[in-house]
Structures are given as structure tokens and as C-alpha cells.
Structure 1
Amino acid sequence: MTSHIAPVELAKAYRLINHGPTVLVSASHGGVANVMAAAWACALDFAPPKVTVVLDKSTRTRALVEASGRFVLQVPTVRQLALTQAVGNTSLADDADKLRRCGVTLFQQDAEPTPLVAGCAAWLACRLVPEPHNQQAYDLFIGEVEAAWADTRVFANGHWRFEEAGPEWRSLHHVAGGHYYAIGAPLSAQDATSPPSPSA
């Protein structure tokens, strides 16, 4: 299952979510694990690398993050669309068998205690940076990235290779109401021509 997973240099870990994908957030504590979808996550800092994610007070995942002080952000792919939608709309509080019903397979990577979701394109293992005011007032959580991995079939040498991988590897971008876009074709500003100057 993990033969294509390689560590990502922490100085480049921000690139795993810098393109704005919907992420899956996993957390565990006291023998309970959960996974939820989150559309509001982003890179915050380079050194040490940090990320932010919004976790609503009603979610069980948030309670696990607060109890354990850890979480993993992972980048799901197009082939995980149904899984992503399901874990984002099913509560562990209502269904103790949520992860199985949603088709989630968890695995451990290296020494990371928090389980990772199999089949994703990238994973960022984070230590919670406690900011009680932000967490309570804005549901905003900060994590310091302590380890990162990516699937080498779509991310290698510090860069995404969506154009070289199959379309099933593209990341998901949630808009609203279960409507997503997959990331599109690459564009390079270096190859773009300058717009014409306005005439006098």
C-alpha cells in the first residue's frame, strides 16, 4: 500500500496544499479515530512549516485533535470524491461505523501516531499549536508540520506532476453543496506573454 509514498522535505511541505485543495483531516485519541473533510485549510509559515484548518465545534474530529494535540491533513484525489463527500457529511457521533461505511482505510506511516488515509496524494502530520482564543472564537486551528509524505506518482522532487499522472490523481476543490472542481492544466507565468500596453 505504501510502496509509492516518499518523505517530502519539510521546507517544501507547504507545496502539498498551496494549490488550495479540499483536505481530509484525521485524528485519533483513546482508541478512537475519525476523518472529516475540510475545504478551509492553507499553508501559514515556511520555517518551521505551519498550516491552518477550520474545524467546527460540532465535529468529533475536532475533539480528537484537542485531546491528542495532533492531526494529519491529507490531499484526496478525484477517485476519492465519494469518500470525501461522505466523511464530510457523516458524523461519528451518529454512526460509530462511519469510517467503514464511508470506505476509509487507515494506515500508519513511520513513527507518526495519527493514522493516515490510504489512497491520498499527500499527507502532512501536524502537532497542534494551541491558540485557545482562535480555536474558540474562529474554529481556527494551527498545526506545525512535523512530517510530510507524497505519492511519487503525482508529486516528486518538490513539485506536483498532475499533468504526468492520470486524471484520477487530480486534487479536489470544493465550492459548495457537494460541487467540486478537479485541478486543471498547469500554466507557467514565465511562458505567458505580457498583455499589450494600452494605447495613448
Structure 2
Amino acid sequence: MDKITLGPMPYMSVMPAVLVGANVKGKANYMTAAWATVACMAPPMVCVALNKARYTAKGIEENKTFSLNVASVKHVVETDHCGLVSGAQEDKSKVFQSFYGKLKTAPLAAECPVNIECRLFKEVDCGSHQLYIGEVVEIHADKACLTDGKPDVAKIHPIVYSQATYFDIGKPVEKAFSAGKKYTKK
């Protein structure tokens, strides 16, 4: 293999593009983020890293709640728009239809096939970004995007982000926790 060094950077080959929802000064606000992932299984937690200057961060600090909304590729224009403009300069509360779940202060985007409602568990100062870890209070999912009662990525068509480009999910390659059983020692 012919490898070269690229220097330190926060590189992951693909990341989900999600909408982070937070009420700021009593109004729903959404921003696009690709730095989101699972943080813990039990209790269920997710996390997202936001630049400290982001308007949405003010809402998370204010209410101690937020949402991660998994947008579908059919809403890529609206999703990208929410990352291009700041809620401090433009009211983004009407870009998506908001509804509220158990927490009453974490706006959820109705057009998104999956919404993750979170109570702030902890925040970590990571330098330029603040890492918000949220305990999952509830998952809201469109019935049409479920298979056997679980979200189905093939039906959701989540937006995948990689190096300033959005992608759709491709076809399945192998089953996790199963494909490795085919391995033979060298």
C-alpha cells in the first residue's frame, strides 16, 4: 500500500446530515450539522458537536433540550438552507413544520422521517466546538419508514455528508455481525 500523511483533521468518510432543533427565545430553530453520532446504548444517548458561535447552541443552553432530525434526501435543499443561514439573522421556524413531544421545548421537524428528542445530559468543551450529549427521551418515526417496527434506512433515504457533498444511501453490501463469520485466517 502506498500511503501518504494528510495531517491531523477531524475526518470521517461519511456522516449523517441532521437538523439540530432547539427553541431559541421561545421560537423553533433548526441548523444543519454532520457531526452527530450515537454516544451510549444504555441509557440511550446521542451527541452532536456545534461551533460555539452557533445560534442554535443558545437554545440548547437555554432549555437543556434539543432534537436531532434525520432529514430525507427529498428535503436536501431545505436542510442545506438551514446550515447556510443563521437563526440570528433569519427566522427559520417556518422552513419545517414543528411539533413537540414529551419535552415540550425541543422542536421536531415533521417532514423528517425520524426525530430524536433529547434532554441535555452533558456538554463538553472541545475547543472550537461544544459537544452536546443528549439522553434520548423519545424517537418519533413515520410509519412509512419502518420495517418490523424499526427505522429502515432504505425507506428513510437519509442525507449523508462527505467532503462538502451530500449523498443518498446505496445498496446493502452485507449483514453486520454476520459477514465476519465468513472470514478465514491467513
- Note whether the superposition's TM-score is higher than 0.5: yes
Q: Structure 1 regions of 5+ residues with no counterpart?
A: 1-18
Q: What is the RMSD computed on CA atoms of the aligned residues?
A: 2.4
2: CA distance, partners of 1:126 / 1:111: 8
Q: How many residues align?
A: 170
Q: Given residue 98 of structure 1, which amino acid in structure 2 is its aligned partner?
A: K
Asked whether the 8 Å contact 2:106–2:118 carries over to 1, the reply is no
Task: Please identify, of 115-124 and 103-112, the stretch whose mean Cα deviation from structure 2 is larger.
Answer: 103-112
Indicate the structure with greater helix content. Answer: 1
Are residues 142 and 149 of structure 1, via their aligned partners in 2, closer, same or farther at CA, if it must alter by over 3 Å?
same
Matches within 5 A, 1:1-200: 20-95=15-90, 97-100=91-94, 103-109=95-101, 112-131=104-123, 134-135=124-125, 137=127, 138-163=129-154, 165=155, 169-177=156-164, 179-189=165-175, 190=178, 194=182
Q: Structure 2 regions of 5+ residues with no counterpart?
A: 1-13
Percent of matched pairs sharing the same residue = 31
1:150 Cα deviation from its structure 2 partner: 1.2
2: CA distance, partners of 1:195 / 1:110: 45
2: CA distance, partners of 1:29 / 1:90: 15
Q: Given residue 27 of structure 1, which amino acid in structure 2 is its aligned partner?
A: A
Indicate the structure with greater strand content. Answer: 2
TM-score (norm 2): 0.79
1:147 Cα deviation from its structure 2 partner: 1.1
Q: Given residue 174 of structure 1, which amino acid in structure 2 is its aligned partner?
A: Y
TM-score (norm 1): 0.74
**Match of 2:105, SS?**
coil
1:105 Cα deviation from its structure 2 partner: 1.7
Are residues 141 and 111 of structure 1, via their aligned partners in 2, closer, same or farther at CA, if it must alter by over 3 Å?
closer
2: CA distance, partners of 1:66 / 1:37: 18
